[in-house]
Amino acid sequence: MTTVLPAPEAVRSINEIGIGLLRQPSMVLFGPGQRRQIPRVVAGVARRVLMVTDARMSASPEFAQITETLAEQGISVLVYDGTEPDLPRRNVVDIAQRFSDSAVEAVVGIGGGSCMDLAKVASVVLTHGGDVRDYYGQFLVPGPGIPVVTVPTTGGTGAEVTCISVIFDEDQGMKVGVASPHLEAYAAIIDPELTLTCPPGLTAASGADALSHLIESFTGRAKNPDTGQLATTLYAGKNVLADVYARTGLALLNRSLPAVAADPADLPARSDTLFGAYCAGMAINTAGTAGAHAIQSPIGALTHTPHGFGISALLPYVMRYNLPARLPEFAEIGRILGVARETDTEERQAQSAISRIEDILQTLGAPIDLRTLGLQPGDFEYVAKQAMLATRLTANNPRELTVDSVQAILRRGYDDDRSWWQL
């Protein structure tokens, strides 16, 4: 299949004003065993805490130890362990109904991305009231909520440091975001030991997600926002500070993800993976995610497949679509990953980066084609139209996305056609 694209100069955007922007928790603690700091951190801001997690984590000895230590510090502990994958709105409604009158003073989100996203948005509804739908969009949270402490147990989402919660609204049939600097956690406590029991499938899905965050932030659209846009828009686009984290995270995951796939008990590799996922969260917190995330949402709703696997299956084709607009960035990724030679042409360096990313995904056991997910050709137009509604994400893509171009990406992904688009 050959698709002719406009010249790169026609679609390339550059950070001409040299902007850099970071948003982050007030405190980040990283390292094996740092979960033991949770009681001390919580005691500094609350005497009554709500633990938000899922059924798997709540049954673990690590969770029992954390809650027992909190109680020993004289902190009253409430537990919500009903968090579901892809965070349905009903979980937020459930928390609001059960804990609105409980005088909760802090929320600890411990688990995967859904648990931490739920903790962040629970802080909003418990503080400001109303329905979570009141806060869909950007900068609609009226003020700070009760303090949130995030504790990731998977190496992928970066939700421990992002100021957005992604929610699946069952009535709308789509994912929506509550995006505000007021969602930023008070503290993120990142303990790689908590990822040692992460199942292989979840390790693969979350690892693919982290890798995609680094790629989409580093190759995303540079927006050159003015003062007014910075005050009202969460994502400033590709920027010099986010790029620092993206480069560091790519180098870490290049080594650590294959090592974790080979030996899930490799704590140094787990540590590097979680550090890389943290870097990815820091990068997307101001640069944002892009096309792959916009397209995955309706695919996930149709196929009921994990977010990370949908992202993995899309990445080879979205990267190829974006390549003409981001040759220098993909070439640099190739050098970061150690697969590009300085003597290669820029195009060859860029292509080697994409091939290496695919190798990592395959080593993890993550899918790299859409047929594996169960997506059908008859769904392509619906997926494309739904993806175009995610304007917060499509606006970050380095090449303009249209219904037709998304369908072209989907056809290639379904056919596992990894030939290169021609300029």
Decide: 292 and 311 in contact? Cβ < 8 Å.
yes
Indicate whether 28 belongs to any domain.
Answer: no
Indicate whether 29 belongs to any domain.
Answer: no
Q: Which domain holds residue 168?
A: 34-190
On whether both 226 and 147 belong to a single domain, the answer is: no
On whether both 148 and 217 belong to a single domain, the answer is: no
Decide: 221 and 235 in contact? Cβ < 8 Å.
no
On whether both 258 and 121 belong to a single domain, the answer is: no
On whether both 106 and 231 belong to a single domain, the answer is: no
On whether both 261 and 208 belong to a single domain, the answer is: yes
Q: In Å, what is the CA distance from 114 to each residue of 54, 76, 118, 149, 270?
A: 9, 24, 6, 14, 20
On whether both 80 and 145 belong to a single domain, the answer is: yes
Model confidence at 174, in pLDDT bands (50, 70, 90)?
confident
On whether both 74 and 17 belong to a single domain, the answer is: no
Among the three residues 167, 190, 213, which one is the final residue of a domain in this structure? 190
pLDDT digits (tens, 9 = 90+) for 100-131: 999 999 999 999 999 999 999 999 999 999 99
Among the three residues 190, 211, 243, which one is the final residue of a domain in this structure? 190
Q: How far apart are CA 333 and CA 41, in angstroms?
A: 37
SS3 26: coil
| Residue carrying structure tokens 């137009």 | 381
Indicate whether 26 belongs to any domain.
Answer: no
Model confidence at 11, in pLDDT bands (50, 70, 90)?
low
Indicate whether 131 belongs to any domain.
Answer: yes
pTM: 0.94
pLDDT digits (tens, 9 = 90+) for 209-257: 999 999 999 999 999 999 888 888 889 999 999 999 999 999 999 999 9
The enclosing domain of 81 has a CATH number of 3.40.50.1970
